[in-house]
Amino acid sequence: MCLLTLALDQSRRFPLVVAANRDEYFARAAARLAWWTPQPGAASILGGRDLDGGGTWLGLSAEGRLGLLTNVRDPSRNDPAAPSRGRIVPEWLAARERVDQFWMRTALAGYNGFNLVAADFAQGECFWASNDGSYPLRLERGLYGLSNAGLDTPWPKVGALKARTREAIAQSSSVEELASRLFEALADRRVPPDHELPDTGVGIEKERMLAPAFIRSSDQLYGTRCSTLIITERAARHNVTHVLERSFSPNAGMALLRRTTLNHWPPRYSAGDAVQAMEGGAVSESEVDSISAPAAPGKRTRVRSLLRPEAKRRRAGISG
């Protein structure tokens, strides 16, 4: 994934909103949004799947974890023999340890540069981390943007998508309206002026190609492969989360849409209360298809903010 916005508790109606584009070579095989297991006996993941590296750029678990990954663009420090960064998200979703313990082993695993957004909503926590040597940063309520540099680095497309995400949340009265506005923002192909472009060491022509939210190289070999939305809506006294994915081919003018719905997800942040995520939506696309969600043990509880307040973290003995 190469561009995303994340809105945490910015709206009473839509407490969690993610809008993200994944940019990649079209020759790299990938599976579309579905529930899948990284290995036999492992917990299921909802997300796309990199069939070359076996990992994913975006995924969530029924138990309440979410992982989002972007690469850091720095050709001077790129090691072609490094392991696939796509492994990081499945490892986070399957991990039993907290973020700080997970980070100690991940940051030293020899990956090329990356950003990771790691949320554990059952604990009321969300962090951003990058393997540039910095320690994970706890994210509080807010709207964040991320591309191929650090969190909220003011690249034009990051600033533009943040602004349009903020407007979409404020102006939308339904999930469908919000999804339409966000997909439109992710499809933006405008190229900023050269003086606004970052210098990441790839040359001005490539910077121009990579500058829009929606990318397509002139040779049709590289570009935006999919746009993904995660929208949580408060319905009565519980959360309903909608996950939508538009996938693109190099030349096709029509995107395929895949969608599923999770009832009672994310879970409340009470220790031991992993709320069951029940799939309640169908897949909408050109072929007949469906996604079935695995069950997670737990109970239904009333809705509250997604992140545990600082005072409650201290009383619960949670550091950070």
List the domains of the chain with CATH numbers. 3-315 (3.60.60.10)
Contact at 8 Å (CB) between 50 and 57? yes
pLDDT by position in tens, the chain (length 320): 799 999 999 999 999 999 999 999 999 999 999 999 998 888 899 999 999 988 999 999 999 999 999 999 999 999 999 999 999 999 999 998 888 889 988 988 999 999 999 999 999 999 999 998 778 999 999 999 999 999 999 999 999 999 999 999 999 999 999 999 999 999 999 999 999 999 999 999 999 999 999 999 999 999 999 999 999 999 887 899 999 999 999 986 778 999 999 999 999 887 544 444 444 433 333 332 334 345 454 444 444 689 988 645 554 554 45
CA 218 to CA 216: how far, in whole Å?
A: 7
Q: Is this model's pTM higher than 0.85 or not? A: yes
- Residues written for the chain: 320
Residue 163 in 3-state DSSP?
A: helix
**275's tokens:** 């709320």
CA 223 to CA 85: how far, in whole Å?
A: 19
Strands (DSSP E) along the chain, which ranges?
Answer: 3-8, 16-25, 30-36, 45-50, 58-60, 65-71, 114-120, 125-130, 137-138, 142-146, 222-235, 238-247, 256-263, 278-279
Instruction: Check residue 265 and give its pLDDT.
Output: 96
| 3-class SS shares of the chain: helix, strand, coil, % to 5 | 20, 30, 50
CA 276 to CA 299: how far, in whole Å?
A: 6
Per-residue DSSP letter, 122: T
**240's tokens:** 């309903």
